[in-house]
């Protein structure tokens, strides 16, 4: 068990016979300890491992979007002990119902709220789950249809780092949320019901970090292999942070590089025009460019390890060509077969 669950509850928001959304509120927290533990452990692991999450904070009426403070106020009351968990979750359900009522597309769902502790931090997990039909076999070998929560396809979920929120009111990243397949807009109503305003842009911060690393090694007296080793070290450091659910800390990264003989990265990164925060979440898809070159366009996809540039892969910007030495065996076989056929 990697998390310590305090309380969890599920409420349903569904359409009534007249097509109006209504809340069906559970009067007490979930009681089946083993089932709840297994479900939340699975959700915690899958949520933590999701890449490309957005990050934000509770906005005020002075922020973009005229954020509704009702959820944050209720959460404050719950954390201070003036409001019970069940009552707080019921208020949240009503807020979500009101927000969903503004849209024609919503069919509702099951609102899951869970308070738990992980690695000395308190979290509140909030997700709108949908039900999925499937078939099962009964004891008498008869088929029957059942509904179950679709835990493997969560699109509307957010996690609030309660410890960071209460320790640092100026933080702009204590709320993380899943971005929809089509981007931020898919989850607008879900974040609006919490009064969440997007804050830190992890992709932009990671891009700036990558640029700082490239400029740092370019201006150094390192050999080609040492430069690639520096890129690999940065990628490994950030990957370890991502796997542990922690942010990139520029000072810690600079200390890691200094231990490998690459000094002064902190002063270089913070003294330039990179606009890097001291800490920010990891975006692995962006940092992967430190190790790989890849691109797609015009029906052609190319990808290769960065260490091959200048050796197995030669780039000529004047003629706009790539020369690949040592074609991969499976690609070579396909090419040979095609040439024989023609």
Global pTM? 0.78
State the average pLDDT for the chain: 86
pLDDT grade, residue 27 (50/70/90)? very high
SS (H, E, C) the chain: CCCEEEEEEEEEEEECCCCCEEEECCCCCCCCHHHHHHHHHHHHHHHHHCCCCEEEEECCCCCCCCCCCHHHHHHHHHHCCCCCHHHHHHHHHHHHHHHHCCCCCCCCEEEEEEEEEECCEEEEEEEEECEEEEEEECCCCCEEEEEEECHHHCCCEEEEEHHHHHHCCCCCCCEEECCECCEHHHHHHHHHHHCEEECCCHHHHHHHHHHHHHHHHHCCCCCHHHHHHHHHHHHHHHHHHHHCCCCEEHHHHHHHHHHCCCCCHHHHHHHCCCCCCCEECCCHHHHHHHCEEEEEECCEEEEEEHHHECCCEEEECCCCEEEECCCCHHHHHHHHHHHHHC
Q: How confident is the model at residue 183 (pLDDT cuts 50, 70, 90)?
A: very low
Mean pLDDT of 212-239: 88
Residue 181 scores a pLDDT above 60:
no
């Amino acid at each position: 068990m990697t998390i310590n669950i305090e309380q969890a509850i599920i409420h349903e928001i569904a359409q009534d016979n007249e097509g109006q959304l209504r809340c069906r509120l559970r009067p007490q927290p979930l009681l089946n300890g083993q089932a709840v533990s297994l479900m939340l452990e699975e959700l915690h692991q899958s949520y933590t491992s999701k890449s490309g999450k957005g990050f934000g904070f509770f906005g005020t009426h002075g922020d973009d979007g005229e954020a509704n403070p009702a959820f944050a106020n209720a959460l404050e009351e719950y954390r201070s002990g003036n409001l019970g968990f069940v009552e707080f979750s019921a208020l949240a359900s009503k807020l979500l119902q009101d927000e969903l009522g503004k849209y024609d597309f919503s069919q509702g769902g099951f609102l899951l709220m869970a308070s738990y502790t992980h690695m000395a931090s308190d979290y509140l997990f909030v997700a709108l789950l949908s039900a999925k039909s499937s078939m099962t076999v009964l004891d008498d070998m008869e088929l029957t249809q059942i509904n179950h929560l679709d835990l493997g396809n969560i699109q509307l979920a957010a996690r609030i780092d309660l410890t960071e929120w209460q320790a640092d009111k100026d933080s702009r990243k204590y709320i993380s949320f899943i971005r929809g397949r089509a981007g931020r807009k898919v989850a607008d109503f879900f974040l609006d019901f919490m009064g969440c305003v997007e804050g830190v842009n992890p992709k932009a911060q990671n891009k700036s970090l990558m640029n700082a690393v490239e400029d740092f090694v370019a201006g150094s007296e390192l050999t080609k292999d040492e430069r690639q080793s520096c890129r690999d070290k940065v990628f490994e450091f950030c990957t370890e942070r991502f796997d542990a659910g922690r942010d990139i800390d520029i000072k810690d990264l600079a200390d890691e590089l200094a231990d490998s003989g690459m000094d002064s990265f902190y002063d270089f990164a913070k003294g330039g025009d990179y606009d890097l925060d001291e800490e920010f979440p990891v975006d692995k898809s962006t940092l992967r460019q430190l190790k790989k070159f890849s691109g797609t366009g015009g029906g052609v996809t190319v990808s290769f390890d960065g260490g091959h540039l200048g050796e197995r892969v030669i780039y000529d910007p004047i003629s706009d060509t790539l020369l690949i030495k040592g074609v991969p065996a499976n690609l070579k076989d396909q090419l040979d077969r095609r040439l024989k056929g023609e």
